[in-house]
């Protein structure tokens, strides 16, 4: 079976004030369907750069990156966006919801790029919101929801396209402990019961310890993958 995400000896360097900064120095990581992994490391270690690469939001300077089995080097920007949209769902610390838009239409938004008609988009969005326990809040805007409810809506948005992988960047960072535990329990349920791979990027060692796999990055290199 094709891996959901695969990075082979990838590097990523940036030009900053005339200097070359090597954020990643040759990292290989494979995310299989059903994985539950935490990417951890100190600030500046390269973990956010690795997440952006695995999410198809950036391309490596050297090495091979495959998203949904497709080598990103062979894809145009539009093709990469299509593969990313079909393969990956994103969950962010700051939720990234549209403030003037209902929960239902926030969740339906990614389906616009698949060319689905509005009734079908809204039907799928209702199903996704039901999956995360938010079926009773369809018409509420983000400002009418608690932080935990907003994160559930964000998770529904990530799920609406039936992705192989959820990439979650500090998903509990803006939540209190109890609400954070509820969000983590939801992600773990989606992983164990529906087989969605979950990859967390986190500074929180307690959150990281819940994952079955730890990917530790330091100084742009893979330190641990176990």
Model pLDDT, residue 221: 96
What mean pLDDT is predicted for residues 135-159? 94
DSSP 8-state symbol, 141: -
To which residue do tokens 């996704």 refer? 128
What mean pLDDT is predicted for residues 31-54? 93
Place domain 36-52+75-225 in its CATH homologous superfamily.
Answer: P-loop containing nucleotide triphosphate hydrolases (3.40.50.300)
Model pLDDT, residue 2: 80
Model pLDDT, residue 189: 92
d(CA 196, CA 176): 25
Model pLDDT, residue 93: 85
Residue 145: pLDDT over 90 = yes
- Cβ proximity of 86 and 111 under 8 Å: no
Tens-place pLDDT, residues 152-200: 999 999 999 999 999 999 988 889 999 999 999 999 999 998 899 999 9
Tens-place pLDDT, residues 76-126: 999 999 999 899 999 988 889 999 999 999 999 999 888 889 999 999 999
Beta bridge partners of 225: 215
d(CA 198, CA 91): 10
Tokens of 161: 């396209």
What mean pLDDT is predicted for residues 212-220? 96
Tens-place pLDDT, residues 3-18: 999 999 999 999 888 8
Model pLDDT, residue 1: 67
* Percent of the chain clearing pLDDT 90 (strictly above): 80
Model pLDDT, residue 148: 93
Residue 201: pLDDT over 70 = yes
Collect all residues with Cβ–Cβ distance below 8 Å to 127 and sequence separation of at least 6.
none
Model pLDDT, residue 94: 87
């Amino acid at each position: 079976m094709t891996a959901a995400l695969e990075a082979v000896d990838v590097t990523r360097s940036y030009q900053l004030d005339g200097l070359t900064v090597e954020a990643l120095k040759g990292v290989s990581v494979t995310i299989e369907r059903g994985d539950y992994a935490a990417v951890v490391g100190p600030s500046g270690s390269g973990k956010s750069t690795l997440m952006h690469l695995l999410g198809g939001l950036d391309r490596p300077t050297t090495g091979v990156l495959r998203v949904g089995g497709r080598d990103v080097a062979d894809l145009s920007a539009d093709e990469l966006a299509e593969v990313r949209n079909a393969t990956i769902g994103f969950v962010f610390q700051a939720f990234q919801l549209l403030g003037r838009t209902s929960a239902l239409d926030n969740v339906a938004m990614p389906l616009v790029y698949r060319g689905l008609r509005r009734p079908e988009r809204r039907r799928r969005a209702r199903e996704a919101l039901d999956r995360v326990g938010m079926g009773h809040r369809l018409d509420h805007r983000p400002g009418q929801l608690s932080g935990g409810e907003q994160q559930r809506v964000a998770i529904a948005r990530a799920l609406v396209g039936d992705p192989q992988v959820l990439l979650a960047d500090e998903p509990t960072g803006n939540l209190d402990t109890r609400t954070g535990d509820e969000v983590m329990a939801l992600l773990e349920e989606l992983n164990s019961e529906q087989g969605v791979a979950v990859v967390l990027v986190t500074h929180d060692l307690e959150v990281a310890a819940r994952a079955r796999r730890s990917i530790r990055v330091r100084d742009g290199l893979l330190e641990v993958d176990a």
